[in-house]
Every structure is written in C-alpha cells, then in structure tokens.
C-alpha cells in the first residue's frame, strides 16, 4: 500500500507583499527533507486575504504561478495553495495544484465569504476538483467551503481519500474550524488537511493557526499550534482501507447529485 508524505506551512503572511512571501516560502520549502512529496500553503499565501482583487490579481503566466512551477520542479514537491487570479475579466480565489513536471490543476473557491465582501470582489467557482497522486485521491477546497458539507460530501464507492482545505480562518471562529475539520473526516471517512495562517493581517484580524491533520475517525493527528510552524505527516493507505472496510458507513448514505 502506498504512503504519502505531506508538509503544511503555517506562517504570518505579509500583507500584499508577493515577493517577500515567496522568498520566505522558498527558503522553507527547499529545506524540507527529500522524502517530502506535497507542500500545502494557506489561502492567498502570496498576499493575505485581501479584497483588493484588481490591484493584486495575477494571470496564470504571472509571478506566483511561475514561482510555483520553478520551486515545484526544484524541490520535487507538489506545491498547492490559493492565490488571486484574473481571467477573462473576472477574479478568482484560485487554488493551484502544481506538479514538478509543470502540469497543474486549478480549483476556484465555490463559496465566497460575503461577511467580508468576498462575493463582491471575486467570482465563484463552478466545479469540484479531485486530483490524484500515487493512488491517493485528494479533494481540493478553500476555507469557507468547509462550512458546506454537501459540497464536500463524497458518494460510495469513495471518490477521494483526503479532503484538503487551505484557509485564512480567524481566531475568533477557530472553534468552528477545528470542529468542522474533524466532522468532515468523520462523515466522509477520509483524512482531512486544514492549513491556516497565523499572525495579524492589515485589517487587524488575528489568526492563531491551528493547522490540523485529522484522521478518518476525527482524531487530530497533528496540530501546528498558534505560531509559525511546519508540520509533516506520512499517510498510509492501509490505515484508510482497513478503517473503511471495518466501518463501511458510506454504503448506507443517501444518494444525491450536485448540479452546478
């Protein structure tokens, strides 16, 4: 059975300072051991959670995507996280899954956080994206998507093995963050990765990290704490298959389809 080693980088994102954030991350990524395979970065890792979409947006040929392509090839890791992208006159909070061979996949955030006017400055995504690596299927999602279990839900037989959320989730609502990450693991019988930022942003919002890896039963396997930190974990497929065979709860789930 295959294993998969993933590192989560929790850090204090410098506000709208792309070059500074990329330099910081480059140093961290290139120091990871050669056995590492995936690096997960927070939501809007190059700018912070800014609503200044027009002044911070890049194209898919811009600085950050080019950096991801270069660092992925150089380190041998898949690099994933979300950035602000403009395309055909629209703006997206876009998660990019960049592979060392330069092939990438994109997921545009479906649920826009109206409480912070994200819906007024960005366009919603229209489809889910499930990637595959070494026999592992990973469902790519962003922050506020965590609150919507129907969008995250998988059918039987299993569509994915890991739910992955990149976020800027404030300390004020961190209880919901922790609770929902564990709940998504339990109801979907999967591992869940949740990567958050830490520090205080330009809007004086405080983020206390708590990046988490949750097991198939909702147990917290790893927690990054409140400050800048990197946590690494190796997933083992046998753990997943044994649990699903022992407790085949999804066989009894209601069937439904999501229509976009």
Structural domains in the chain?
A: 3-252 (3.60.110.10)
Region of residue 44 (left: phi > 0; alpha: psi -120 to 50; beta: else): left
| Confidence at residue 256, expressed as pLDDT on a 0 to 100 scale | 73
Exposure string for 172-200, b = 16+ CB within 10 A, e = fewer: eebeebbebbbbbbbbbbbbbbbbbbbbe
pLDDT band at 257 (very low <50, low <70, confident <90, very high): confident
Counting Cα atoms < 13 Å in the Cβ hemisphere of 193 gives: 33
Q: What is the pLDDT, as a whole number, of residue 155?
A: 81
pLDDT in tens, 125-160: 999 999 999 999 999 999 999 999 999 999 878 899
Mean pLDDT of 51-66: 98
pTM given for the model? 0.96
Token readout for 197 is: 């930022």
C-beta separation of 190 from 158 below 8 A: yes
* Structure confidence at residue 260 (pLDDT): 55
Active-site residue set: 43, 109, 143
The pLDDT value given to residue 259: 60
β-pair partners for 87: 90
The number of helices, as runs of H, and strands, as runs of E, in the chain is: 7, 14
Distance CA 230, CA 130 (A): 24
pLDDT computed for residue 89 by the predictor: 96
pLDDT beyond 80 at 1: no
């Amino acid at each position: 059975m295959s294993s998969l080693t993933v590192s989560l980088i929790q850090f204090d994102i410098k506000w709208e300072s792309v070059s500074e954030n990329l330099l910081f991350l480059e140093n961290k990524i290139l120091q990871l051991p050669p056995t590492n395979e995936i690096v997960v970065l927070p939501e809007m890792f190059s700018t912070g959670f800014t609503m200044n979409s027009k002044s911070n947006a890049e194209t898919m040929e811009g600085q950050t995507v080019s950096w991801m392509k270069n660092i992925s090839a150089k380190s041998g890791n898949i690099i994933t996280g979300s950035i602000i992208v403009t395309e055909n006159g629209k703006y997206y909070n876009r998660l990019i899954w960049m592979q060392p061979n330069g092939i990438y996949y994109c997921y545009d955030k479906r649920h826009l956080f109206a409480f912070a006017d994200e819906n007024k400055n960005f366009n919603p995504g229209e489809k889910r994206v499930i990637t595959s690596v070494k026999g592992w299927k990973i469902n790519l999602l962003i922050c506020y998507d965590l609150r919507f279990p129907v969008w995250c839900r998988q059918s039987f037989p299993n569509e994915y093995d890991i739910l992955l959320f990149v976020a800027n989730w404030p300390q004020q609502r961190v209880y919901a963050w922790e609770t929902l990450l564990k709940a998504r693991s339990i109801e979907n019988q999967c591992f869940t990765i949740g990567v958050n930022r830490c520090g205080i942003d330009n809007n004086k919002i405080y983020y206390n990290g708590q990046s988490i890896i949750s097991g198939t039963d909702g147990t917290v396997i790893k927690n990054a704490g409140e400050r800048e930190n990197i946590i690494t974990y190796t997933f083992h497929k046998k753990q997943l298959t044994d649990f699903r065979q022992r407790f085949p709860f999804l066989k009894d789930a209601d069937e439904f389809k999501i229509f976009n």
